[in-house]
């Protein structure tokens, strides 16, 4: 691969990226990712705006899945507070891994990837499940790609171009 980023997840914008499982072993989980955007300030970005990467490979070494949480129906109480209509179900261990891998084998449309106060990373998205969140940690992340496709969709939109 022509470009490489190591341990710099904050150099990318994940909203609307599409992730598909590329490889899974006990030590590494890799994804083929489309519509991943590299931020303007990142050292690998030669352009003056955020750029969409054609196809990236995102590899987490030492990947540890802490929890998988599917969405559920919510309601609004008389005070205007949102609350779930049933208890929130959080899966851990082998069950969480199996549920996440099921999603990743097809494709995950990522809404966000951010680091929580706990230090774990939280990925929210949809796939087979209409919405879910996973919490995970890892030892190292490597993002590799060969080419840029175009300016990021939100850059094009701000220029009045429909992406």
Q: Where are the domains of the chain?
A: 1-63+139-163, 65-137
Instruction: Please give the pLDDT value at position 163.
Output: 63
Residue whose token pair is 């261990």: 93
What is the average per-residue pLDDT within 71-91? 85
Instruction: Please give the pLDDT value at position 84.
Output: 78
Structure tokens at 121: 């990373």
pTM > 0.95: no
More confident call, 119 vs 1: 119
Topology of domain 65-137, CATH: Chitinase A; domain 3 (3.10.50)
Whether the CB-CB separation of 31 and 57 falls below 8 Å is answered with: yes
| pLDDT above 90 as % of the chain | 79
Structure tokens at 103: 């999603």
Residue 137: exposure state from Cβ atoms within 10 A (0-12, 13-18, ≥19): middle
pLDDT tens, position by position, 119-143: 999 999 999 989 999 999 999 999 9
């Amino acid at each position: 691969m022509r470009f490489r980023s190591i341990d710099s997840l904050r150099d990318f914008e994940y909203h609307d990226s599409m992730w598909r499982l590329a490889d899974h072993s006990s030590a590494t989980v890799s994804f083929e990712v489309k519509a991943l955007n590299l931020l303007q300030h990142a050292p690998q970005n030669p352009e003056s705006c955020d750029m969409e990467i054609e196809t990236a490979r995102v590899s987490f070494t030492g990947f540890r899945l802490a929890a998988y949480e599917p969405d559920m129906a919510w309601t609004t109480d008389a005070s205007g507070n949102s609350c779930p209509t049933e208890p929130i179900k959080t899966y851990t261990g082998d069950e969480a891994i199996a549920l996440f891998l099921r999603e990743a084998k097809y494709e995950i449309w990522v809404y966000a990837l951010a680091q929580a106060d706990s230090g774990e990373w939280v990925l929210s998205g949809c796939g087979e499940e209409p919405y879910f969140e996973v919490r995970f940690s890892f030892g190292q992340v490597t993002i590799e790609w060969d080419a840029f496709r175009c300016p990021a969709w939100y850059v094009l939109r701000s220029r009045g171009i429909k992406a």
